Structure 1
């Protein structure tokens, strides 16, 4: 057996073992690649095509769609759930150039128009909130409701070292599930993570928030050191139509650790008039 084939098989075995340990489904949903403007995203869909609500999940820096497994499981009975690997993350190929947050948002919006299921409930986590916000601002017809979980980047701490230090403190005492999934996805994010961090820090979400038309739910983990109380209050205040929810006992990775409280609040938000 060629050495590369053996390495690939070993990597697949490790990947499958991590899925089983962390509760990620070992079977894929409906997988689709979508390319535009020199970038490719990967989308995995689960749930009924006939359901009235489509939830679209956008991950944070260094992550990928598989970290949303628990949230997908909890939302799936209530609609169609699509989790995205952004370009260069998860299993999506690395683009020739690291895209800005705005360009990634345009790619996501182009994919949503292709899916053509009407306005969606767009859920972003961490850096994914920046992408989701830009989708809502630049392509408002694609977003029915917006959910921002652990929004970044705090304008008071727009520095790579500050962000990394705060994330490191936040991860102290985190569950093995979060640490194992996070480590795998950061490895998958590849050698260009520094450029991706620069794209995240360059973006100024506070300039976009006042232009969001969709009703928006801001969710923060009580112990989140990255998305502080002060910052999340500013985010909620800047949004024209917002409400705020705190997940007690959770940190920055609240959607990965245990998505139940956030999922329950998201579903109530979707039922609001």
Structure 2
């Protein structure tokens, strides 16, 4: 399968969409669409293996936010709430049905805000390696945690991280403040959709007690831990895809895990 790649503009801001699905489902407006939102400095490449695994059973759209993944920058700081609106509007412009929003790192803030602000468009939310841990809302502390994570990510993922960061520096610097100030723990109590928090067992950025606390803060939250570092979705793409599918199906039918 090859992704369909298109750039849409929302209020003048570019958002790139990478759509991947099995034959006949690229324009499926009835089944849920899984939307993948990267973290600060990253791009759709942080979901390459994950999207391939999810696309076996779902229509998927991986997003590049303005200023990331080689896109032109916004030229200004974008608040998390504005990024959330951009994602929903860009994806909905392609004729999607209900959305399963999957965010990683800063992307968890974006998809949580999207679910809070656009509940009618969102079926469920998955947060991978959520940030920012309370007590570590400082750029230096985040840099230290990122350095620790690089020790366990492996050669391939570190290559993706390094090259993505280098091409997104201007927008990265603009978004660092909004990311550090955003309080995911204050947003999740107002998200009335099912929320799954996923953490890598070796993730030094999203600590375990923090991740479990966030799952408990969501009215319909659950927590799952998979073996791996901060980008656990790329280290465990098949297991992650199965976890998302099980979560979605159980929550849709009203069952219990």
1:34 aligns with 2:8: yes
1:108 aligns with 2:87: yes
| Alignment partner of 1:264 out of 236, 242, 245 | 242
SS at match of 2:16: strand
Determine helix, strand or coil for the equivalent of 1:56. Answer: strand
Instruction: Please state whether the residue corresponding to 1:156 is helix, strand or coil.
Output: coil
Higher helix share: 1
Cα RMSD for the two superposed structures: 1.5
**1-structure distance, mates of 2:2, 2:241:** 21
- Report if the CA contact (8 A) 2:17-2:91 is conserved: no
- TM-score, normalising length from structure 2? 0.91
Out of 138, 143, 148, the position equivalent to 1:159 is 138
Contact 2:195 2:218 in 1 (8 A): yes
Q: List, as ranges, runs of 4+ consecutive aligned residues in structure 1 with deviation greater than 3 Å.
A: none
**Correspondence 1:206 to 2:170:** no
Alignment match, 2:123: 144
Shift of 1:181: 0.9
Q: What are structure 1's unaligned runs of at least 5 residues?
A: 1-26
Q: Deviations over 1:199-258 (max 9, x none)?
A: 21121222111000111111000111110011111101110001110002x111112333
More deviation in 197-206 or 74-83? 197-206
User: 2:98–2:123: 8 Å Cα contact kept in structure 1?
Assistant: yes
Cα deviation code 1:19-40 (max 9, x no counterpart): xxxxxxxx85211212123321
Q: Mark the runs of 5 or more structure 2 residues left unpaired by the alignment.
A: none
Q: Is the 8 A contact 1:132 1:146 kept in 2?
A: yes
1:95 is matched with which residue?
A: 74
In the TM superposition, what is the alpha-carbon distance from 1:129 to its structure 2 partner?
0.3
Q: Which has the larger radius of gyration?
A: 1
Output the CA distance in 1 between the equivalents of 2:40 and 2:2.
22
Measure, in 2, the Cα distance between the counterparts of 1:138 and 1:234. 22
Contact persistence 1:59–1:84 (CA under 8 A): yes
> Contact (CA 8 Å) 2:152, 2:229: kept in 1 or not?
no
Indicate conservation of the 8 Å contact 2:103/2:128, yes or no: yes
Q: CA deviation at 1:42?
A: 0.5
Q: Aligned-pair distance for 1:146?
A: 0.5
TM-aligned CA deviation for residue 262 of structure 1: 1.5
